[in-house]
């Protein structure tokens, strides 16, 4: 597996990471813990050195899973986790309240260190921008944790260009994690140029459109009742039917290259910039191997232009999040 550096932060990771959320949370029933550990360790064996989790995934159980699975490989891997959510007692304990107050960030860091079984968090992202706390205070709190040796790198998630600039002025931001794929290209407008200017790496989550770009989901697909895609407008049956046009297009390009649609979608991201590191998630070994195969797919500038030209004619239907979640993105 090739390595990449996330911007100027000197953080080197495998060209493709592993998003671990779905093993515990949000995409149907949680995996059996033993199976989750086995899958994470299989990723290490195949050259993956970058693993993504968060306290909110579970909550807490995903960090525990990742911590246990990677304990034997601690010096070989980079673990990213996140702060910024907390349960809302007015809504049955659901994690839909933002809290990035400095004292809360420090508490989360201490708890995450224990669950991950590490002495320092490699990359600590603010999970979503909290408009009640100036981003300078957030960056300052993480800066203190870095000075104390408890955190190595600072990251943001789903932040807008101005927020990134303000945070970076207080504590250099190593990476931004946001949704980015062939069916969500909004970061190209302002965010990608800002990251390039400031020397910040980009970690696309949902690089396969929450599974849609694999070609394995259609209008008739039924999701488990615990799967959050049931709440996403883009995933209602009518919109899935309309959005199939993008998957059909990807499939044609993939067939010509003798790769899968998922591999083509990931290869497209890798070809965009050398400091982009996607983190597709999976619960299946054969999907893990398929995703990692994308690192061996070289797309030329002509390939990129052809894919982007054709896909730009396809209108994507449906919002990418329910309304309450949309309000926490792009701030």
8 Å CB contact between 124 and 82: yes
* Crossing angle of the two packed helices 261-272 and 301-311, in degrees rounded to 10: 110
User: Residues with catalytic annotation?
Assistant: 57
What is each CA distance from 115 to 15, 69, 80, 239, 331, in whole angstroms? Answer: 26, 11, 13, 39, 29
Sign of the alpha-carbon torsion through 276, 277, 278, 279: negative
Burial of 26 (0-12, 13-18, 19+ CB in 10 A): middle
Instruction: Look up tokens 């995409």; give the residue.
Output: 27
Pairing of strands 85-88, 78-83: unpaired
Residue-wise DSSP of 265-307: HHHHHHHH-TTB----B-S-HHHHHHHHGGGG-PPPHHHHHHH
Three-class SS of residue 214? helix
Eight-class DSSP state of 213:
G
What is each CA distance from 282 to 41, 103, 235, 330, in whole angstroms? Answer: 13, 34, 18, 26
What is each CA distance from 312 to 246, 283, 289, 307, in whole angstroms? Answer: 9, 31, 29, 8
* Crossing angle of the two packed helices 161-170 and 135-147, in degrees rounded to 10: 40
């Amino acid at each position: 597996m090739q390595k990449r550096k996330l911007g100027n932060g000197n953080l080197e990771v495998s060209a493709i990471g592993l998003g671990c959320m779905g093993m515990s949370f949000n995409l149907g029933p949680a995996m059996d813990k033993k199976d989750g550990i086995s899958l994470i360790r299989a990723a290490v064996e195949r050259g993956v050195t970058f693993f993504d989790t968060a306290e909110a995934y579970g909550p807490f159980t995903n960090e525990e899973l990742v911590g246990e699975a990677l304990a034997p490989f601690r010096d070989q891997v980079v673990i990213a986790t996140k702060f910024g959510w907390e349960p809302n007692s007015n809504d049955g304990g659901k994690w839909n309240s933002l809290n990035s107050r400095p004292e809360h960030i420090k508490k989360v860091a201490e708890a995450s260190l224990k669950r991950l079984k590490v002495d320092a968090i490699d990359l600590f992202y603010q999970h979503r921008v909290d408009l009640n706390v100036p981003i300078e205070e957030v960056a300052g709190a993480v800066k203190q944790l870095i000075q104390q040796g408890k955190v190595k790198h600072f990251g943001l998630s789903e932040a807008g260009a101005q927020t990134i600039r303000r945070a970076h002025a207080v504590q250099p931001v190593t990476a931004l994690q946001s949704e980015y794929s062939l069916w969500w290209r909004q970061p190209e407008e302002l965010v990608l140029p800002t990251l390039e200017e400031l020397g910040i790496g980009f970690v696309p989550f949902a690089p396969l459109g929450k599974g849609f770009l694999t070609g394995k989901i259609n209008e008739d697909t039924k999701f488990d009742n615990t799967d959050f895609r049931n709440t996403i407008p883009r995933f209602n049956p009518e919109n899935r039917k309309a959005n199939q046009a993008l998957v059909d297009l990807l499939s044609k390009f993939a067939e010509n290259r003798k790769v899968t649609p998922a591999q083509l979608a990931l290869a497209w991201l890798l070809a965009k910039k050398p400091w982009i590191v996607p983190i597709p998630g999976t619960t299946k070994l054969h999907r893990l191997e398929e995703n990692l195969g994308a690192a061996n797919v070289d797309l030329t500038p002509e390939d990129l232009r052809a894919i982007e030209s054709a896909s730009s004619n396809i209108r994507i239907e449906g919002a990418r999040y329910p309304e309450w979640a949309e309000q926490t993105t792009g701030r």
